[in-house]
Structure 1
Amino acid sequence: MAVKLKDSSYEFAQRLVKDGKFVVDEREDWSEHQPSAQQENEFIEKHGFNEYRKWHLGDDDEERENTKAR
């Protein structure tokens, strides 16, 4: 697996933090609040993979384009 940092997603995350659009969670709170696979699929259907990719800092270039595995 060749996961690389996506500069565009990193810059997007920096903008969110700068704009105060974040929540400080306690340790492991994310596991209780993460979207289900169905919610992710619905988001992708509504907004497309370009928007979905913004929320992921890593990109696995060994996976096919426009898949969640990528």
Structure 2
Amino acid sequence: MQSIEFKVTVKDGIIEIPQAYQNDVIEAEAVKVVVLKKEKKKRIVDTGFLAELASNPIEIENFLSREEANER
């Protein structure tokens, strides 16, 4: 089985085979399709409560530091 690899943008759920490979696919007896989906990067919230807390952390008196917590 011959392998062909290309990158395309999915439009309305349709994957268009590039013109350069269309004849190879049309003439094939059978094809095997493997889809590798590019994951969207998770975005850290830059507005709202979490962003406000990250920008202005709450300081608590007598709270253990990371080092103190690891000593126990």
Name the larger-Rg structure. Answer: 2
Specify the TM-score bucket, using the shorter chain as the normaliser. Answer: under 0.3
Higher strand proportion: 1
**TM-score (norm: length of structure 2):** 0.20
Higher helix proportion: 1
**TM-score (norm: length of structure 1):** 0.20
